[in-house]
Amino acid sequence: MKQSKILIPTKKEAPSDAEALSHVMMERAGYIYQISSGVWSYLPLAYRVIRKVKGIIREEMEKAGAFQMETPSMLPADLWQQTGRYEAYGDTLFKFKDRNDREYILGPTDEEAMTEILRDSIKSYKKLPLVVYQITDKFRDEPRPRYGILRGKEFSMLDGYSFSADQKGLDEAYDLQAQAYRNIFDRAGLNYKVILADSGTIGGDNSQEFSAPAKVGEDVIVYTDGGYAANIEKATSKFTGVQQTAALAELAKKPTPGAHTVDEACETLGVDQGQMLKSMLFMAKMGEDDYQPVMVLMRGNDEVNETKVTNAIDCEELELASEEDTQKYLGAHPGSLGPVGVGEEVKILADNYVKVLVNMACGANDDGFHYVNANIDRDFRVDEFGDFRNVQEGELAPDGYPIKFTNGIEIGHIFKLGTGYSEKLGAKVLDENGRQVNMIMGCYGIGVTRLLSAVAEQNADENGLVWPDSIAPFDVHVIPVNAKKDDQMAMANDLEGQLTAAGYEVLVDDRKERAGVKFADADLIGIPLRVTIGKKAADGIVEVKIRKTGETIEVKQEELVNTVGILLKQLANPTDKQE
Amino acid sequence: MKQSKILIPTKKEAPSDAEALSHVMMERAGYIYQISSGVWSYLPLAYRVIRKVKGIIREEMEKAGAFQMETPSMLPADLWQQTGRYEAYGDTLFKFKDRNDREYILGPTDEEAMTEILRDSIKSYKKLPLVVYQITDKFRDEPRPRYGILRGKEFSMLDGYSFSADQKGLDEAYDLQAQAYRNIFDRAGLNYKVILADSGTIGGDNSQEFSAPAKVGEDVIVYTDGGYAANIEKATSKFTGVQQTAALAELAKKPTPGAHTVDEACETLGVDQGQMLKSMLFMAKMGEDDYQPVMVLMRGNDEVNETKVTNAIDCEELELASEEDTQKYLGAHPGSLGPVGVGEEVKILADNYVKVLVNMACGANDDGFHYVNANIDRDFRVDEFGDFRNVQEGELAPDGYPIKFTNGIEIGHIFKLGTGYSEKLGAKVLDENGRQVNMIMGCYGIGVTRLLSAVAEQNADENGLVWPDSIAPFDVHVIPVNAKKDDQMAMANDLEGQLTAAGYEVLVDDRKERAGVKFADADLIGIPLRVTIGKKAADGIVEVKIRKTGETIEVKQEELVNTVGILLKQLANPTDKQE
């Protein structure tokens, strides 16, 4: 295809608001156009990449026995009210009404609609298991859209759903999807980790996340060289605490004027952070208008992991208590809280590492004062011990290897959902014994447009994008150095014909621009191989440049197709090259 | 693929609200699911048909030099305010706000976004012409969604846009698109007419509509055996009026108590409908809060064509006057209006057929009275004569052939838009002489999901759907009569393998259902060829049934692939069969 016919508005300057390399390069290379904050158009080059990703997804989904369908973007609000997610999603949902005042939302994910459809379609276990998926636009009113198409308000998502009458059906579908996801990301040339994850607002017990390590990743991935990987919300480490054995000293209240942080209190009291209790008060939402105050205790140098706390309490939502609430329940400001003298109405959780301490310091629930030598049971109550902290780098993971941290972009997530949605929406089938049972669901998702960002983020360099051939907009970029010269254009057309006949997708830069402009644009656009037709064309010789490595090779015209095949194969399987 | 793995919820009963055959059969055959009035899900079979249609579209668009991209569904309201369409679309637009109170709409078409993108991307005529297209969901708050997916609130649409710096570029793009549209509809197996059409709210001068004749079509197609075709809004016929020569009689006012219609007045007065003036008062919106009263006169047996009137006045909108307005301007109710004595503030248009009449009857602008022997100029003023009526069956079209009517479904529309949008949005390029000129646009659209309805409507029979092979969800439906018999399933698997290897898409009904159920479902689903594996399977013989004709053929197992090829080719080119 001829470049002059395609809308590719390359730019010399980076957009002023761009923080991520993928964003800078996708805008500069003419892939994307922002029409409103977090709302993007995909120009022809980006669309070609998206189509290739969708093609890979379809092949792998079909192999996994999943069938494509499509639900609408506009969904009746009452359907989402039935599952409680209309409330739970809050401001993240886009809401609107039709001319008859009927309320709709724009779907941010699709458990409700899919469950309703299956409920109305399937009545017997004999028709199950079934796995359906779609690749449609989803909508989330992100408070802070950023990084180009990495976090937008409207984005393309693959979402799949499995329905079965028994656990075995779910397990099999989940495993097939997990394998399909690996295949998809492998084929798309993505570097990723499969990590243990928490299920979040979707619900369900068992879930894995696919995360792409990248500097701009908004998640912290915890991993080891032994293969353990989890997100920070879910990660655990081996407990290495040792019971302290000092004699219990006498509880004493000390003035700590102006000390509002753990650091300041430790300094004033001359106490190590490991002996200071960090005491935080949360309000846990247990149901409609039903809040439980919860104090969480941990060592001063540890961080509270709210997901672990939420799961331990089994609450709907966990919020840090307001000053009003700390005054109401503890009579002090947040900087001076502690467990001593706290009444039964406040539930007290303590991290396992607190259990082994003696003679701890802690806030006195009296602004400007701390206790020293506080001890469990003697001076304060703990209702439940558990793992409530974030792991730290260097600790030993469950696999025995030291923990490392990296930033990651969440690109996929698979859940064993269970029966939460089918219960709420009445999606039942008759089982083998003629009894009504809830369908057991799994759900599976990939951020399709986000995947582009992740691949670009991992592969781009200072000159532009670098696409793996499997999802590149074209395989070969043919550049006649001077498109005004008939012999160069004739050779370009000839090579385009040969390469196309061999099954490659070819972009010919037929623009009457200077060579420097063309080369710079080619680097920006990031097609794997560039074929330059220059002075040696007269001798039947062209130059092939590998975008990823910058290497160049001179090739005889008649050997080009063959060379392209070999180079693309090597790029797809870099180890082959070493052998 | 195995039918047991795919969600195909066939039903015995038609949905109670279904009026159109395509709607009945697509729901009964498990293709579509209504999630809210006019809002549909496409289940796996429908999705496969949609994908095939999209594939045909892509191939033809690429041939026509158009490149695919994708703009978002959510569009900033202010962009639509700049072109005035935020107002003009009124209640048809879905509107909503984000968490920062920024207003959005859901795009019902996309001239604005595309013009903005091209404006910001292209600065010189050297980069033009360019043609872009997308296949995305569009949204319209239809007052009366109906006929299944034929008229829904959310639907899939192909919309293409051409941008050029000169008229020649527009003409070439338009012609290429027109040809691509013909190819698409031909390949999709649609029976359609290319008709002259009015441009409606999109604006622009030159437009053609692609309309599929069908009983449930909401448009009237006017056509002749000579090749003339237009929609009723646009259609014209040869003027065959003859000047009447009777002596002018004296104007007289007659009581016509209780006569509110043309019929009643003619009867009371003993006048022929051809001598009675139908006088209708409209309010033409000329601009913001600027309305012009317009009286339109025609023979009693003619119908006013509001599009022709709108174009003659060049108004933004034409509305029938309210009773309040007829009282204000004419002092009478709508049943008693006429041109005699009407002041200059009311513009009077008359159809060409009125010009040749003498001694007409008409309302007297006095409830319960009509005039007889009214004559032009002597008794009333006409400001402008023109063609303001709908053509009628039997009249001669411009090509000299008699006019016929049929109902049609609008499935495509191509427009030479001109510079309306580029002017409003400032989309200019430098021309060859370095002058800023507005980009000249064309726009082109196909209702993708509507196309399914149209094809289904034209091909379905009382047993179910009948798909042309080019867009059928599968090519061959293999049915082992008894899936519990190992030999039948083994043969089914074998044939599936052979047919798949030959490039056909095969659905195997592996369900343990009665043969009658399977056959009925196969007819409903409408795959072009059914291969039945029954008792003769033991002798290596299967039966092939052609869904469209009901014909059956016995075929030896080893000849099946060959036979399928021949039959599908014959079905695609029915004339080949005759030769």
Model confidence at A199, pLDDT cuts 50, 70, 90, reads low
Poorest-pLDDT segment among A213-217, A424-428, A483-487, B132-136: A483-487
CB atoms within 10 A of CB B17: 11
Rounded mean pLDDT, A147-153? 93
Strand-pair partners of A412? A210, A446
User: Does the distance separating the beta carbons of B106 and A6 come in below 8 Å?
Assistant: no
A457, A487, A518: which is the final residue of a domain? A457
The partner residue sitting opposite B98, judged by closest CB among A30, A50, A94, is A94
Angle at alpha carbon of residue B35, lines to B31 and B38, rounded to 5° = 85
The partner residue sitting opposite A154, judged by closest CB among B51, B72, B127, is B72
Q: How many domains does chain B have?
A: 3
Is the residue at A34 inside a domain? no
Do residues A229 and A311 both lie within one domain?
no
A461 neighbors A482 (Cβ within 8 angstroms):
no
Angle at alpha carbon of residue B60, lines to B54 and B64, rounded to 5° = 135
Return the residue of A nearest to B129 by Cα: A5
Do residues B60 and B207 both lie within one domain?
yes
We report the CATH number of the domain holding residue A257 as 3.90.960.10
Handedness of CA A268, A273, A275, A279 (dihedral sign): positive
Do residues B526 and B566 both lie within one domain?
yes
Distance CA B337, CA B280 (A): 7
Tokens of A244: 């302290």
Which string of b and e fits A309-348 if b means at least 16 CB within 10 Å?
Answer: bbbbbebbebeebeeebbeebbebbbbbbbbbebeeebbb
User: Does the distance separating the beta carbons of B102 and A36 come in below 8 Å?
Assistant: yes
The partner residue sitting opposite B70, judged by closest CB among A9, A47, A91, is A47
pLDDT digits (tens, 9 = 90+) for A259-289: 888 999 999 999 999 999 999 999 999 988 8
User: Does the distance separating the beta carbons of B94 and A40 come in below 8 Å?
Assistant: no
Tokens of B514: 């009665």
Mean pLDDT of chain A: 94
The partner residue sitting opposite B113, judged by closest CB among A41, A65, A139, is A41
The partner residue sitting opposite A69, judged by closest CB among B44, B69, B139, is B44
User: Does the distance separating the beta carbons of A106 and B132 come in below 8 Å?
Assistant: no
Model confidence at B578, pLDDT cuts 50, 70, 90, reads very low
User: Does the distance separating the beta carbons of B40 and A72 come in below 8 Å?
Assistant: yes
Q: Which of B152, B136, B145 is nearest to B446 (CA)?
A: B136
pLDDT digits (tens, 9 = 90+) for B377-413: 999 999 999 999 999 999 999 999 999 999 999 999 9
Is the residue at B450 inside a domain? yes
Mean pLDDT of chain B: 94
In chain B, which residues have their Cβ closer than 8 Å to the Cβ of A37?
A: 102
Distance CA B385, CA B190 (A): 40
User: Does the distance separating the beta carbons of B154 and A73 come in below 8 Å?
Assistant: yes
pLDDT digits (tens, 9 = 90+) for A379-432: 999 999 999 999 999 999 999 999 999 999 999 999 999 999 999 999 999 999
Do residues A318 and A418 both lie within one domain?
no
> Please, which residues have CB within 8 angstroms of residue A360's CB and are 6 or more apart in sequence?
A275, A276, A277, A354, A373, A374, A375
3-class state of residue B217 by DSSP:
coil
In chain A, which residues have their Cβ closer than 8 Å to the Cβ of B131?
A: 5
3-class state of residue B190 by DSSP:
coil
Handedness of CA A57, A59, A63, A65 (dihedral sign): positive
Return the residue of B nearest to A123 by Cα: B9
User: Does the distance separating the beta carbons of A116 and B74 come in below 8 Å?
Assistant: no
In chain A, which residues have their Cβ closer than 8 Å to the Cβ of B165?
A: none
DSSP state of A144: S
Return the residue of A nearest to B10 by Cα: A121
3-class state of residue A344 by DSSP:
coil
Tokens of A60: 């792998």
Do residues B275 and B361 both lie within one domain?
yes
Do residues B174 and B259 both lie within one domain?
no
Residue B579, pLDDT score: 33
Per cent of chain B over pLDDT 90 is 89
Model confidence at A576, pLDDT cuts 50, 70, 90, reads very low
Q: B193 vs chain A: nearest CA distance in angstroms? A: 30
Q: A83 vs chain B: nearest CA distance in angstroms? A: 16
How many H-runs (helices) and E-runs (strands) does chain A carry? 16, 29
In chain A, which residues have their Cβ closer than 8 Å to the Cβ of B99?
A: 91, 141, 143
A30 neighbors A158 (Cβ within 8 angstroms):
no
In chain A, which residues have their Cβ closer than 8 Å to the Cβ of B126?
A: 512
Q: B180 vs chain A: nearest CA distance in angstroms? A: 17
User: Does the distance separating the beta carbons of B39 and A153 come in below 8 Å?
Assistant: no
Return the residue of B nearest to A449 by Cα: B70
User: Does the distance separating the beta carbons of B75 and A35 come in below 8 Å?
Assistant: yes
User: Does the distance separating the beta carbons of B75 and A139 come in below 8 Å?
Assistant: no
Residue A205 has pLDDT above 70, yes or no: no
In chain A, which residues have their Cβ closer than 8 Å to the Cβ of B37?
A: 102
The partner residue sitting opposite B74, judged by closest CB among A42, A44, A154, is A154
Residue B201 has pLDDT above 60, yes or no: no
Strand-pair partners of A441? A163, A418
We report the CATH number of the domain holding residue A439 as 3.30.930.10
In chain B, which residues have their Cβ closer than 8 Å to the Cβ of A36?
A: 74-76, 102, 104
The full DSSP string for A477-521 is EEEES-TTSHHHHHHHHHHHHHHHHTT--EEE------HHHHHHH
Distance CA B36, CA B523 (A): 28
In chain B, which residues have their Cβ closer than 8 Å to the Cβ of A99?
A: 91, 141, 143
Distance CA B373, CA A468 (A): 84
A229 neighbors A267 (Cβ within 8 angstroms):
no
Is the residue at B247 inside a domain? no
Strand-pair partners of B299? B277
The partner residue sitting opposite A68, judged by closest CB among B47, B67, B122, is B47
Interface test with A, best of B6, B12, B28, B36 (most A CBs within 10 A): B36
User: Does the distance separating the beta carbons of A143 and B35 come in below 8 Å?
Assistant: no
pLDDT digits (tens, 9 = 90+) for B151-187: 999 999 999 999 999 999 999 999 999 999 999 999 9
Model confidence at B576, pLDDT cuts 50, 70, 90, reads very low
| Distance in angstroms between the alpha carbons of the first and the last residue of chain A | 35
pLDDT digits (tens, 9 = 90+) for A304-335: 999 999 989 988 889 999 999 999 999 998 88
Residue with the two structure tokens 């022709």: B308
User: Does the distance separating the beta carbons of A139 and B30 come in below 8 Å?
Assistant: no
Tokens of A200: 């979040």
pLDDT digits (tens, 9 = 90+) for B211-257: 999 999 989 999 999 999 998 988 999 999 999 999 999 999 999 99
Residue A200, pLDDT score: 58
User: Does the distance separating the beta carbons of A106 and B35 come in below 8 Å?
Assistant: no
CB atoms within 10 A of CB B202: 16
Tokens of A167: 């656990």
Q: A564 vs chain B: nearest CA distance in angstroms? A: 24
Return the residue of B nearest to A63 by Cα: B1
Residue A506, pLDDT score: 98
If residue B366 lies in a helix (H) or strand (E), which one and from where to where? none
What are the two backbone dihedrals, phi and then psi, of residue B136, each rounded to the nearest 5 degrees?
-135, 170
User: Does the distance separating the beta carbons of A143 and B70 come in below 8 Å?
Assistant: no
Distance CA B497, CA B504 (A): 10
User: Does the distance separating the beta carbons of B5 and A130 come in below 8 Å?
Assistant: yes
3-class state of residue A53 by DSSP:
helix
B8 neighbors B518 (Cβ within 8 angstroms):
no
Q: A219 vs chain B: nearest CA distance in angstroms? A: 24
A501 burial class (0-12, 13-18, 19+ CB within 10 angstroms)?
exposed
Q: A334 vs chain B: nearest CA distance in angstroms? A: 30
B386, B417, B447: which is the final residue of a domain? B386
pLDDT digits (tens, 9 = 90+) for B335-380: 889 999 999 999 999 999 999 999 999 999 999 999 999 999 999 9
pLDDT digits (tens, 9 = 90+) for B82-139: 999 999 999 999 999 999 999 999 999 999 999 999 999 999 999 999 999 999 999 9
Distance CA B280, CA B302 (A): 12
Distance CA A385, CA B468 (A): 67
Is the residue at B501 inside a domain? yes
User: Does the distance separating the beta carbons of B47 and A7 come in below 8 Å?
Assistant: no
User: Does the distance separating the beta carbons of A102 and B36 come in below 8 Å?
Assistant: yes
User: Does the distance separating the beta carbons of B72 and A40 come in below 8 Å?
Assistant: yes
Domain that holds residue A349: 252-386
Distance CA A438, CA B576 (A): 54
Do residues A358 and A261 both lie within one domain?
yes
Q: A433 vs chain B: nearest CA distance in angstroms? A: 18
Is the residue at B240 inside a domain? no
User: In Å, how far from its chain's centre is CA A470?
Assistant: 22
Residue A579, pLDDT score: 33
Distance CA B410, CA B433 (A): 42
Per 3-state DSSP, what percentage of chain A is helix, strand, and coil (rounded to 5)? Answer: 35, 30, 35
B192 neighbors B185 (Cβ within 8 angstroms):
yes
Alpha helices in B122-166 (DSSP H): none
Model confidence at B15, pLDDT cuts 50, 70, 90, reads confident
Do residues A378 and A260 both lie within one domain?
yes
pLDDT digits (tens, 9 = 90+) for A435-464: 999 999 999 999 999 999 999 999 999 999
Distance CA B446, CA B184 (A): 10
The partner residue sitting opposite A43, judged by closest CB among B69, B76, B143, is B69
Q: A184 vs chain B: nearest CA distance in angstroms? A: 20
Model confidence at B303, pLDDT cuts 50, 70, 90, reads very high
A128 neighbors A164 (Cβ within 8 angstroms):
yes
User: Does the distance separating the beta carbons of A74 and B94 come in below 8 Å?
Assistant: yes
In chain A, which residues have their Cβ closer than 8 Å to the Cβ of B512?
A: 126
Model confidence at A577, pLDDT cuts 50, 70, 90, reads very low
> ω into residue B480 within 30 of 0, thus cis?
no
Is the residue at B393 inside a domain? no
> Please, which residues have CB within 8 angstroms of residue B530's CB and are 6 or more apart in sequence?
B476, B477, B478, B479, B519, B522, B544, B545, B547
Residue A34, pLDDT score: 96
C-alpha to C-alpha distances, A481 to A487, A514, A548, B364, B550, nearest whole angstrom: 11, 8, 21, 81, 61
Distance CA B193, CA B221 (A): 9
Alpha helices in A83-230 (DSSP H): 85-89, 111-121, 167-187
Is the residue at A30 inside a domain? no
Is the residue at A189 inside a domain? yes
C-alpha to C-alpha distances, B382 to B113, B342, B352, nearest whole angstrom: 44, 10, 11
User: Does the distance separating the beta carbons of A4 and B127 come in below 8 Å?
Assistant: yes
Q: Which of A410, A390, A429, A414 is nearest to A308 (CA)?
A: A390
In chain A, which residues have their Cβ closer than 8 Å to the Cβ of B128?
A: none
Do residues B42 and B183 both lie within one domain?
yes
Do residues A224 and A256 both lie within one domain?
no
Bridge-based pairing state of the strands A384-386 and A347-351 = parallel
Do residues B113 and B208 both lie within one domain?
yes
We report the CATH number of the domain holding residue A548 as 3.40.50.800
The partner residue sitting opposite A113, judged by closest CB among B7, B41, B106, is B41
> Please, which residues have CB within 8 angstroms of residue B34's CB and are 6 or more apart in sequence?
B15, B27, B40, B41, B148
Do residues B37 and B165 both lie within one domain?
yes
Angle at alpha carbon of residue B175, lines to B65 and B436, rounded to 5° = 75
User: In Å, how far from its chain's centre is CA B426?
Assistant: 31
pLDDT digits (tens, 9 = 90+) for A13-50: 888 888 899 999 999 999 999 999 999 999 999 999 99
Per cent of chain B over pLDDT 70 is 98
Interface test with A, best of B70, B131, B156, B159 (most A CBs within 10 A): B70
> Please, which residues have CB within 8 angstroms of residue A102's CB and are 6 or more apart in sequence?
A76, B36, B37
C-alpha to C-alpha distances, A341 to A277, A300, A348, A385, nearest whole angstrom: 15, 20, 11, 18
User: Does the distance separating the beta carbons of B65 and A5 come in below 8 Å?
Assistant: yes
